[in-house]
Structure 1
Amino acid sequence: MSTPLKGPLSGRPWAIGLAVLGLMLAAINLRGGLVVIGPLVEDIRHSLHFSASQFSTLTTLPLLCFAVVSALVPLLTRKITPPLLVLGALLLISAGAALRVIPPFPVILVGTLLIGSAIAILNVLIPGLVKAYFPNHTGVMTGFYSVTLSAGAGLGVYLAVPLREMFMDWRAPMLLWALLPLLCLPPWLFLLRIHSQNYQPPKASKVNLLRSYRAWAITGYMGLQSAFFYSIATWLPNMLIDNGLSDMEAGTAASMVNLVGIPANLLAPMIATRMHDQRPMVIVIFLISLTGLGGLLLMPSLAIIWASCIGLGAGGALSLALALFALRSENTTQALSLSAMAQSFGYLIAAGGPLVIGALHDLTAGWAVALILLLVLQVIQFTSGMIAAKPGTLSN
């Protein structure tokens, strides 16, 4: 029987409770402020007179921020305690979300840079904190984290149109994501006091991740599942509206991608941590996603069903990718470095997703070719996942 590992909060139940609360509150801010734009595309473009290229910049820039800033997070943790980084990131999300409703375009661009950079910091930091704070419960905590992340994204999409209608202004749902981060600060203020007492900066990882085929496979899986999610989050409402659904119906169907993914978010990492070989999970996730995309291509009138399949597949893929950061790492430092690499290079892949899908729609005046491309990318994602999910760690 293995000896339970001790984390920095071991023996302090109240601190563990604060860490659980803090991680969940941070996670709820990681997607909502980005995906809220999807149902509001036409409102924003008509109100601010944005061109298609300007709007594409706003949807793609956060992913480029993820790619650039993610690589810097391990360096930041050697100088700044993780709770202070989380606090700073939450404040930046709030400021960025507020700026994104203020014309002219350069101001909105600055807000987008702030929110993208802040989310990048949290994207990398939280999986490492899960392994550090809860070394014996990484599966459960990754599940809770993923559920909260997807719930935040689902709320962002689902509330967008009702809040716009209630306040008669598209800025109302956008400003929700400027207020919410401020309500999430208190637990991290307490955790900052704990960390400041005995913080030991992490040492550099001894494994050269750039020479590890397994690290690259995890990176590919992370990047392709992100490209899939952000392509769907950006364009699914438009796909459905073009196929005859109302704004409200399209927004509801799009929200299902996030809300139906919650069970997969919760269960996938719990199951993964109990399996020696996670490749069967990769197969199941692939088949579910394939069903959703194929359904949208062949029978778009059943959008709710296909959106639900896509949500289950995307939710499972995200949670499995996050779980692999811990499962394939031997310590917290290695997990943080792998998270940084996978998200830095991975989001370079993801950044092209919405742009290419939008360009294909413009070129073909339809969505069929774009959906076929997403099907092809699912096959490549499946191949990367089968390599990443093989038993073993980065060192072997």
Structure 2
Amino acid sequence: MSVQCNSPHMAINSLPDEAKGPSTAITVLCIVLVALTLRPGIVSIGPLLPTIIQELGLSYIQASPLTSIPTFLMGALALPAPWLAHRFGRDRAILVALLVMGGAMSLRTVVDSVGQLFITTAGVGAGIAIAGTLLSGYVKARFPGRVAVFMGLYTTSIALGSTLAAASTGPLVQAAESWRWAAGFWILPVVLAVAVWVCVNQNGRQKQTVSTSSSRAPRLPLRNPTAWLIALFFACNNLVFYAMIAWLAPLYIELGNTPTAAGMILASYTLGFMVATPLFGFISRNDDRRIVLAVSAGIALLGSLAIAIAPNTLPMLWVPLAAFGTGGAFTLAMTLPLDNASNPEEANAWSAFVMLPSYIVAAGGPLLTGYLRDISDNFDLSLWMLVVVGMVMLLITPFLQPNRNNEVLISH
């Protein structure tokens, strides 16, 4: 989930020889392999949290930043990422981001203090944020006529990486008898992604021109009520998603499941999310997506409600159902800024406004969930908090009518 935002005074335009980089097959392979690395550094922490908490003597709220920090950085670094691409080159910036991510994941396996753990986690988050933001731009530049197809491939690969990390980390920690080895395993896909991206960086070096523009870029839609509602809807959806990613496995371990079984339940969540991502995008064909938004939010709420009432009853049904609704809502929410913008510049402004606060708010999901777990000694309050957030999402949907024809799309 990435945001591109152009500088107010310049834009990076790829020259026609953009396509003279690697072949389509190599490019697709690179996109898939890089996208696969963009979530395991976050998702794999969930099954490891109980062990990390015990080894380092953390409370649940103290352990929450292990997922909150990367989520926060995904929003905070969305805006400066395009400047890095302009200053150092997009492909080179992606390569450096992958190296930072891999290096931080390596160092995280040898930390001996909470401070070091958080610092290395920030490195992982920074790498994910920069690479994710710029990779979507690479897709748009490399396949300008087939953006939807290859963005679908990109987001599905991200979800697949989440599912693999969720399903495999539990068995890995049991086999290795160490959370460090299990966390370190996910360095391997990053190494592979770096290897193939070197090919892109070397063979696909496009010259870029910096074009100055005398016209002012559209400002963020700070005074547009619809923009705030979209941001609130997306923030609620992301808050639920990252809270589940962080604490679903610890919840089911606490309920008596093995780490492997809890990891499989977490994997069912990411799998449900992955299935919904392309499906809801295909179903929603009109600009006015309120009905489909309400359906997706309702499904997510139904799943969350069932988990809150009886978490150990049919978790392999209710957990992926909740994720299915969340994944559908995510796909649709990603399109809402485009529905409300009349040109690409406005779309960038709307997307920046929506994504930046939504990920920052979402970073509070794991923190609040961990805090409620600490004060109540169980996850009951946390689960009901997520139900309330789901209700807010559903209540917002009737007000998400696009206003593309509104003359005042961007505040003055």
TM-score range, shorter chain: 0.7 to 0.9
Shift of 1:123: 3.5
Question: Quick check: 1:264–1:316 contact (8 Å CA) kept in 2?
Answer: yes
Equivalent positions of 1:1-396 (< 5 A) are 15-105=23-113, 106-193=115-202, 196-201=205-210, 206-211=217-222, 212-272=224-284, 274-300=285-311, 301-324=313-336, 328=340, 335-384=347-396, 387-388=399-400, 390=402, 392=404, 396=409
> In 2, distance between residues paired with 1:327 and 1:139?
15
Q: Which runs of 5+ in 2 are unaligned?
A: 1-13
What is the SS of the residue equivalent to 2:314?
helix
Contact kept? 1:146, 1:319, Cα under 8 Å: no
Bigger CA drift: 184-193 or 352-361? 184-193
Cα distance in 1 for residues equivalent to 2:118 and 2:168? 23
CA positional deviation for 1:271: 3.8
Distance 2:21 2:202 in 1: 16
**1:40, 1:161 within 8 Å by CA — same for their partners in 2?**
yes
SS at match of 2:205: helix
Instruction: Name the CA shift for 1:217/1:193 in 2 (closer, same or farther; >3 Å).
Output: farther
- Whether the 8 Å CA contact 2:230–2:333 is kept in 1: the answer is yes
1:339-358 Cα offsets, whole Å, 9 max, x none, are: 44433211210111111112
Structure 2 contact 60–370 (Cα < 8 Å) conserved: no
> % of aligned pairs identical?
27
Q: Deviations over 1:249-303 (max 9, x none)?
A: 222111100012222122233444x433222221121111011111112232211
Moved more, 334-343 or 65-74: 334-343
SS of the equivalent of 1:366 reads: coil
- CA gap of 1:170–1:384, structure 2 versus 1, over 3 A, is same
TM-score (norm 1): 0.87
- In structure 2, do the counterparts of structure 1 residues 59 and 97 end up closer, same or farther at CA, with 3 Å as the change threshold? same
Q: Contact 2:342–2:404 at 8 Å: present in 1 too?
A: no
CA contact (8 A) 1:151 1:259 kept: yes
State the alpha-carbon separation in 1 of the partners of residues 17 and 248 from structure 2. Answer: 42
Q: Is the 8 A contact 1:8 1:133 kept in 2?
A: no
User: Which of 351-360 and 311-320 deviates more?
Assistant: 311-320
Structure with a larger share of its residues in helix: 1
Give the Cα separation in 2 of the matches to 1:379 and 1:100: 37
Deviations 1:231-264 (A, max 9, x none): 1111112322333433322221111000122221
**Stretch deviating more after TM superposition (310-319 or 237-246):** 237-246
What is the one-letter code of the residue matched to 1:65? L
The one-letter amino acid of 1:288's match is I
Q: Using a 3 Å threshold, how does the CA distance of structure 1 residues 19 and 219 change in structure 2: closer, same or farther?
A: farther
Give me the TM-score of the superposition, normalised by structure 2: 0.84
What is the total number of aligned residue pairs between the two structures?
390
2:3 — aligned with what? none
Question: Residues of 2 paired with 1:155 and 1:393: CA distance?
Answer: 43
- Alpha-carbon distance in 2 for matches of 1:385, 1:124: 27
Gaps of 5+ in 1: 1-5
On the 8 A contact 1:329/1:394 being kept in 2, the answer is no
For 1:200, what is the secondary structure of its paired residue? Answer: strand
Contact 1:86-1:122 at 8 Å conserved across structures: yes
d(CA) in 1 for partners of 2:33 and 2:342? Answer: 27
Give the secondary-structure state (helix, strand or coil) at the position aligned to 2:356. helix
Please state how far the C-alpha of 1:389 moved relative to its aligned partner: 6.0
